C-alpha cells in the first residue's frame, strides 16, 4: 500500500497529460459525435515534432506551438477526407492515422525512437521532477479548459455544438456543418498533438508507437470522468475537468493493477475492455428500461 501511495505522483502527472489528450477527444466524441481515430497518429506526431525541433535547437515553447499546429494539420486532413471526399469519419481517421505513421517516421529521419534528455535541454517538465510535472500539466489543463470554455460559449462554438447535436437543425439555421466538423477535428487533433509534445518531454523521448491505442485511453478518460463525476459536474468547464480527472484515475488504476502483477503487455486489452464495458452500460440500461416498460404495458393489458 505504501509503495502504491508513494508511486502516485507519477500516474497523476501522466494522467493530467493524457487528460489534455482526452479533452481533445471530448471535442470530437462528445461535441461533434464523431469517433476520430486520427489521434492515434497525432499523439506521436506531436511527440516526434517536439523532440526533433528541440534537439535541433529550437525553443521549447515554440516547438510546442509547432507540434500543436502539426496536429491541427492532421485534423484538417481527416476533416477534408470526411467532408469533401465523403469518407465515413472513422475510416477518414484511420487513413490519416496511416499517413501519419509515414509522416512521423519522416520527421524522425526513419528512426522509431528519438531521445530528448532533460539534462541537455531546457524542458518544461520531466518525470525526474514529478512535482513540477504535475504543476506544469495542471497549468496547461487549466488554461485549455478556460480557452475551450470561452470558445464553446461563442457564436462559432455554439454552432459547433449544434452541428454535433442535430445536423438538420444546424443546416436549417444556416450553419455550414462541413466547415464546423473540420474546425472541430482541427482543434481536437491540435490538443492531442500538444499532449503528445508534453508526454515526450515528460518521458524524455518520443516513439513512433507512443500514440498506439491513444483513442482508447482518451475515451476511457472521458467515460470514467463522466461515470464518476457526471452527476456533480454539469457545467461545461467541469465536464472538461472531469475528463482530466478521468485520465488521472485511469493511470492510478493502471499503476495499481501493474503493481498487483498484471503483465504490462496485457494493458491495452484491459483498457479496451474497460472502454467497451463502460460504453455498453448506458445501452444495456436503455434495453432494461424498455423491457421493463414493455412488461408494465403487458401487465396493464
Partner 1 sequence: MLKVTNVYKTFNKGTVNEKKALNGINLELKSGDFVTIIGGNGAGKSTLLNSICGVFPVDSGSIVIDGEDVTRLPEHKRAKYLGRVFQDPMMGTAADMWIEENMSLALRRGKARGLKWAITNKERTQYRVMLSQLGLGLENRLSSKVGLLSGGQRQALTLLMAVMQQPKLLLLDEHTAALDPKTAETVLNLSEKFINESKLTAMMITHNMRDAIHHGNRLIMMDNGRIIYDVSGEEKKNLTVDDLLKKFADLSGSALDNDRMLLSK
Please write down the HEC assignment for all residues of 167-222.
HHHHHHCCCCHHHHHHHHHHHHHHHHHHHHHHHHHHHCEEECCCCCCHHHHHHHHH
Q: Could you tell me the smallest distance in angstroms from the CB atom of residue 144 to partner 1? A: 17
Q: Could you tell me the smallest distance in angstroms from the CB atom of residue 155 to partner 1? A: 4
Of 119 and 155, the one with the shorter C-beta distance to partner 1 is 155
Of 172 and 260, the one with the shorter C-beta distance to partner 1 is 172
Of 165 and 279, the one with the shorter C-beta distance to partner 1 is 165
Give the one residue of 128, 158, 268, 292 binding partner 1; rule: CB under 8 A: 158
The span of 2-10, 78-86, 173-181, 258-266 binding partner 1 (CB under 8 A) equals 173-181
Neighbours of 261 (CB within 10 A): 6
Closest listed residue to residue 250, CA positions, set 25, 100, 2:
25
Estimate to the nearest angstrom the gap between the alpha carbon of 50 and the chain centroid.
18
Cβ atoms of 149 and 237 closer than 8 Å: yes
Rounded CA gap, 200 and 133, in Å? 12
Q: Could you tell me the smallest distance in angstroms from the CB atom of residue 282 to partner 1? A: 15
Q: Does 87 participate in binding partner 1 (rule CB under 8 A)?
A: no
3-class DSSP state of 113: strand
130-151 helix and 236-259 helix, angle to the nearest 10 degrees: 150
Q: Could you tell me the smallest distance in angstroms from the CB atom of residue 149 to partner 1? A: 12
Q: Does 174 participate in binding partner 1 (rule CB under 8 A)?
A: yes
- Residues 6 or more apart in contact with residue 142 via CB below 8 angstroms: none
The span of 106-114, 174-182, 204-212, 250-258 binding partner 1 (CB under 8 A) equals 174-182
Q: Does 166 participate in binding partner 1 (rule CB under 8 A)?
A: yes
Q: Which three cell numbers stand for residue 107?
A: 520527421
Q: Does 171 participate in binding partner 1 (rule CB under 8 A)?
A: yes
Q: What angle do CA 276, 214, 77 make, to 5 degrees?
A: 115
Q: Does 177 participate in binding partner 1 (rule CB under 8 A)?
A: yes
Give the one residue of 162, 227, 258, 270 binding partner 1; rule: CB under 8 A: 162
Q: Does 155 participate in binding partner 1 (rule CB under 8 A)?
A: yes
- DSSP tag of 28: I
Give the one residue of 10, 115, 135, 176 binding partner 1; rule: CB under 8 A: 176
Q: Could you tell me the smallest distance in angstroms from the CB atom of residue 116 to partner 1? A: 35
Q: Does 289 participate in binding partner 1 (rule CB under 8 A)?
A: no
What is the binding site for partner 1 (CB under 8 A)?
Answer: 151, 153-159, 161-162, 165-166, 168-177
Amino acid at each position: 500500500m505504501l509503495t502504491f501511495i508513494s508511486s502516485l505522483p507519477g500516474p497523476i502527472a501522466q494522467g493530467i497529460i493524457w487528460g489534455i489528450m482526452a479533452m481533445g477527444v471530448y471535442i470530437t466524441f462528445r461535441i461533434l459525435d464523431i469517433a476520430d481515430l486520427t489521434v492515434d497518429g497525432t499523439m506521436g506526431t506531436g511527440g516526434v515534432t517536439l523532440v526533433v525541433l528541440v534537439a535541433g535547437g529550437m525553443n521549447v515553447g515554440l516547438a510546442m506551438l509547432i507540434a500543436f499546429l502539426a496536429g491541427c494539420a492532421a485534423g484538417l486532413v481527416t476533416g477534408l477526407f470526411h467532408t469533401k471526399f465523403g469518407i465515413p469519419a472513422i475510416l477518414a481517421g484511420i487513413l490519416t492515422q496511416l499517413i501519419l505513421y509515414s509522416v512521423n517516421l519522416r520527421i524522425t529521419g526513419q528512426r522509431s525512437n528519438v531521445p530528448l534528455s532533460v539534462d541537455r535541454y531546457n524542458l518544461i517538465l520531466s518525470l525526474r521532477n514529478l512535482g513540477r510535472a504535475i504543476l506544469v500539466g495542471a497549468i496547461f489543463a487549466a488554461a485549455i479548459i478556460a480557452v475551450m470554455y470561452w470558445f464553446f460559449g461563442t457564436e462559432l462554438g455554439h454552432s459547433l455544438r449544434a452541428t454535433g447535436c442535430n445536423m438538420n437543425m444546424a443546416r436549417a439555421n444556416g450553419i455550414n456543418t462541413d466547415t464546423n466538423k473540420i474546425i472541430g477535428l482541427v482543434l481536437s487533433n491540435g490538443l492531442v498533438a500538444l499532449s503528445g509534445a508534453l508526454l515526450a518531454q515528460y518521458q524524455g523521448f518520443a516513439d513512433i508507437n507512443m500514440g498506439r491505442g491513444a483513442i482508447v485511453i482518451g475515451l476511457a478518460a472521458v467515460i470514467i470522468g463522466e461515470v464518476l463525476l457526471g452527476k456533480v459536474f454539469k457545467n461545461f468547464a467541469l465536464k472538461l475537468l472531469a475528463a482530466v480527472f478521468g485520465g488521472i484515475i485511469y493511470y492510478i488504476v493502471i499503476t495499481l493493477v501493474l503493481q498487483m502483477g498484471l503483465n504490462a503487455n496485457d494493458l491495452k486489452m484491459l483498457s479496451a475492455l474497460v472502454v467497451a464495458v463502460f460504453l455498453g452500460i448506458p445501452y444495456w440500461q436503455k434495453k432494461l428500461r424498455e423491457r421493463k416498460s414493455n412488461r408494465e404495458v403487458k401487465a396493464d393489458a
